Amino acid sequence: MYPDVRVAAGVDVPRIDTATRWVVGAVILDERGRAFAQRRSPSRRLFPGCWDIVGGHVEPGETVLGALAREIREETGWRLAEVLADLGRLVWTPDDGIERHEVDYLVRVSGDLASPALEPEKHTEFAWVTEADLAMLTVPDDPGASFVADTVGRGLRRARRLAG
């Protein structure tokens, strides 16, 4: 379905079933090895005002790779070019009570990385972060809530290992 998207050897792209709610996430790298983060708008039901990676729910009939490409396009205007590494999976249940199975990837995209086309009703700002910036990605009123920072940190460390 996405023949122009390269998927690195060893990357697990699961086949999904309709009985499970799947979520995909992308740690997007730029040419300088920084990772993209975007702030969720204060009106979002889940995690309002928090920093996040690009991603979202896998829609009915979509594959994981298809959802990853769609979410990147919708949230930034960029095109998924390469899946570099699998960054892990987790199962989580937010306050809406719906269990989600999430899979996150380290990716490269094509497009104007200086000017992402943010969805204004969903995201208010963006930043390119390094490992020195990870603290800004934690939830301010809950220092234990470091999922985004942890995922981005894993992606940045993995990118460094892949580069060298």
CATH of the domain at 103: 3.90.79.10
For residue 62, what pLDDT band results from cuts at 50, 70 and 90? Answer: very high
* pLDDT tier at 112, thresholds 50, 70, 90: very high
Residue 1, domain member (yes or no): no
- Does some domain include residue 122? yes
Would you say residue 51 has pLDDT above 80?
yes
Specify whether the CB–CB gap between 65 and 5 falls below 8 A: yes
Average pLDDT along the chain: 91
Partners of residue 142 on adjacent β-strands? 139
Whether 26 contacts 72, CB under 8 Å: yes
Number of domains making up the chain: 1
> What share of the chain has pLDDT > 70, as a percent?
95
Mean pLDDT within 88-98: 85
Residue 81 covered by a domain: yes
State whether residue 114 is helix, strand or coil: coil
Judge whether 12 lies within some domain.
yes
CA-based nearest residue to 148, from 96, 108, 98, 92: 92
Q: Which of 51-60, 61-70, 112-121, 141-150 shows the lowest mean pLDDT across its residues?
A: 141-150
Mean pLDDT of 68-87: 97
Mean pLDDT throughout 97-114?
A: 94
- Residue 143 pLDDT > 80, yes or no? no
Containing structural domain, residue 96: 6-163
Of residues 58, 156, 145, 63, the one with CA closest to residue 107: 156
**Would you state the pLDDT for residue 63?**
93
Q: Is 98 a domain residue?
A: yes
Model pLDDT, residue 142: 61
Q: How confident is the model at residue 16 (pLDDT cuts 50, 70, 90)?
A: confident
Flag whether pLDDT at 17 surpasses 90.
no
Residue 89 inside a domain? The answer is yes
